[in-house]
Copies of this chain bind each other. A is one copy, B any other.
Amino acid sequence: VFSDGDVWPTFRVEEAWAEGLDAIALTDHVEYQPKKDHVSTDRNASYRLAVKRAEELGMLLVAGAELTRRMPPGHMNGLFLQDANALAVEDWKAAVAEVRRQGGLIMWNHPGWVGQQPDGIARWYDDHTALYEQGALWGIEVANQSEVYPEVIEWCRSKNLAMLGSSDTHQPITTENRIARHSHRTMTLVFARERSLAGLREALVQKRTVVYVGDQLIGAEEWLGQVFKRSVIFSPDTITARGRQSVNVSATNTSEIPFHLSLAAPDAVLHAPQRLTLLPGTTAVFQVRATADTLTVDAPVTLRWKVTNLITGKDRGLEFPLQLRAQLKPSR
């Protein structure tokens, strides 16, 4: 409620904790305070009120604020701030400088937001080049609420910026999820070495992030590949395909995320299903069989899958080579 939200800051911490999150940032607007007739305009109030509750629940709480400017440069968050009131200055460049003076990180929010880009397409302006070249821009939202900006994935890859996803929530998150018909808020998975604000910050600065929006995970191959490998167990790893007989392979998805696989290229020797969906917490069994009465004993074969909801670039899914050791025999 300290800018344009509908809930008290302690509630933000409680609902995030109840959802199982480890960390959130509070980022009330610096320049937009539509409730100021009834609510204090102290831009540090929301963080100060919430941080006690966060400590009780063991949540990591990041002090932030949203610079709310026309496009360009659009809206930007400062994270890991000391004093959000100091950002309330006329010139946005001065506000950015103040964030950096406080040791904060600058992220560019929802670059394709329809409120500022009616066609939903993110555009890069000279102001962003300037920010980037002076080393002020740390990351960009690839996803905000249910919006996804595919162009941003490529920007982040080519410029080595952090890929970020945010809920940008104003109402209780259950209300927003219901309206968007989402099962979870849009969020950033951060691969931290320790569960502390320092650990969180180190991983963010190093850009070890993946964006989780709807059923999609968006990020670098490096991280998505590990997510997939540690989520899905294939068994057995040795296939005995006797002629045209089929062999059952099971894939157990231990994660809470569905994975949609499609066969990138048909294998010369093995036949497997073209498409496969691995639902969360379930095991799928699929059939593999030799495509011909090939006689090859104990050959390594590879099924070249693409995981179409693990997004590594604009229109690009994670490639996953499933290596099996096949013992192929003609049937009789």
Contact = CB atoms under 8 A, between A and B. Distances in A.
Interface of A: 1-2, 5-8, 10-11, 14-15, 18, 20, 35, 37-40, 42, 45, 49, 56-58, 171-172, 174-175, 178, 248, 250, 283, 285
Contact of A8 (B6, B45, B49): B6
Contacts of A283: 20
A174 B35 CA distance: 24
Contact of A11 (B6, B58, B248): B6
A174 B20 CA distance: 17
A178 B15 CA distance: 11
Contact of A1 (B8, B18, B56, B58): B8
Nearest to A171: B11
Contact of A40 (B7, B37, B42): B37
A18 B175 CA distance: 9
B15 A175 contact: yes
A242 to B, nearest CB: 14
A321 to B, nearest CB: 24
- Output the residue of A2, A10, A175, A178 with the most chain B CB within 10 A: A175
